Amino acid sequence: MRHERGRAAVRDTGGDTSGEGGDAPAVLLRGVGKTYGKGVAEVHALRGVDLEIRRGEFVVLLGPSGSGKTTLLNVIGGIEPASFGDVTAGGRDISALGEDARTAYRRDVVGFVFQFFNLVPSLTALENVRLVAELTGRGDRERSAAALESVGLAERGAHFPAQLSGGEQQRVAIARAIAKEPELLLCDEPTGALDLETGRGVLRVLQDLNRQGRTILAVTHNEAIAAVAHRVVRMRSGRVTEVTTTAEPATADEVTW
């Protein structure tokens, strides 16, 4: 059952006709570094990261605070450029893209779920979802409503963020990221602010999306969440220190913390 999930994932992704096998990885990093600041203020956030994520994989990225997890997500997502190394994602050489092409990549290929939701308080849940999807030309009402439904919030479209719980807001943020149907979903601490039951609900949504073929890279501090991943990547001081494969990933309902 688990491996069938993987195969279905490959078939669904990207809408190409290549079917299974032999396709390019969703993400490929070679010797990626990121340095912030200059001189005494220099911070080496990434120090030569090699990483490959296959299409349809659910990868969890674990590591202590300051180890470079968000930086890695930002580099993969085209939010900021790497200082050195090669970044390939969504079939593009991200390191070589100009500003416009990088914007298009960010808009069309990547879905971002930030830790602090970033919902617009004066827009309803449905309007928040449509806002981002519209930038891609895929912002029709039906698609946005379907995205809200897929995170279990079909009835809450007309509510404002302040009228939703933390977990519900996080699910709106996920709906917003998936309404444009990105190939790659990057999530920074998607369950960070949530209690167990609510966190499980968010994990369930992510796992369902992954079964439908989305490639997911989720950052967390929470070791327990690693159980649902196909692979777990551990970082420390800007480097990948360990990559482990989970033979039999758990379901969201089996996870506890």
Ligand X SMILES: Nc1ncnc2c1ncn2[C@@H]1O[C@H](COP(=O)(O)OP(=O)(O)OP(=O)(O)O)[C@@H](O)[C@H]1O
Query: Contacts with ligand X in 2-41 (CB under 6 A)?
Result: 36-37
Instruction: Give me the least distance between CB of 34 and Mg ion, in Å please.
Output: 13
By the rule CB under 6 A, 69 interacts with ligand X: yes
Q: Does 137 bind ligand X (CB under 6 A)?
A: no
Nearest one of 201, 187, 205 to 116, comparing CA atoms: 187
Q: Looking up tokens 């190409």, which residue turns up?
A: 16
Q: How far is CA 40 from CA 7, 37, 227, in A?
A: 49, 8, 40
When binding is defined by CB under 6 A, the residue of 6, 28, 60, 67 that contacts ligand X is: 67
Q: Which of residues 206-235 bind ligand X (CB under 6 A)?
A: 221
**First vs last Cα of the chain: how many Å apart?**
26
Q: How far is the CB of 235 from ligand X (least distance, A)?
A: 7
H helical segments located in the chain: 2-12, 69-76, 99-108, 125-135, 141-150, 166-178, 196-211
> What is the contact surface with Mg ion in residues (CB under 5 A)?
70
Q: What is the DSSP string of 190-212?
A: TTTT--HHHHHHHHHHHHHHHHT
94, 30 contact by CB (below 8 A):
no
Closer of 9 and 76 to ligand X (Cβ): 76
From the list Mg ion, ligand X, none, partner contacted by residue 84 (C-beta under 5 to 8 A by kind): none
111 binds, among Mg ion, ligand X, none (CB under 5 to 8 A by kind): none
Does the footprint of ligand X cover residue 43 (CB under 6 A)? yes
Q: Which stretch binds ligand X (CB under 6 A): 67-75, 132-140, 156-164, 169-177?
A: 67-75
**Helix H or strand E encompassing 58:** strand 58-62
Q: Which does 102 bind (CB under 5 to 8 A by kind): Mg ion, ligand X, none?
A: none
Shortest distance, position 69 Cβ to Mg ion, whole Å: 5
Q: Are 29 and 86 in contact (CB under 8 A)?
A: yes
Question: Which residue among 2, 19, 20, 66 contacts ligand X (CB under 6 A)?
Answer: 66
Q: How many residues bind ligand X (CB under 6 A)?
A: 13
**Minimum gap (Å) between residue 69 Cβ and ligand X:** 4
Rounded CA gap, 86 and 156, in Å?
Answer: 42
By the 8 A CB rule, do 71 and 79 touch? no
Which residues lie near ligand X (CB under 6 A)?
Answer: 36-37, 43, 45, 63, 65-71, 221
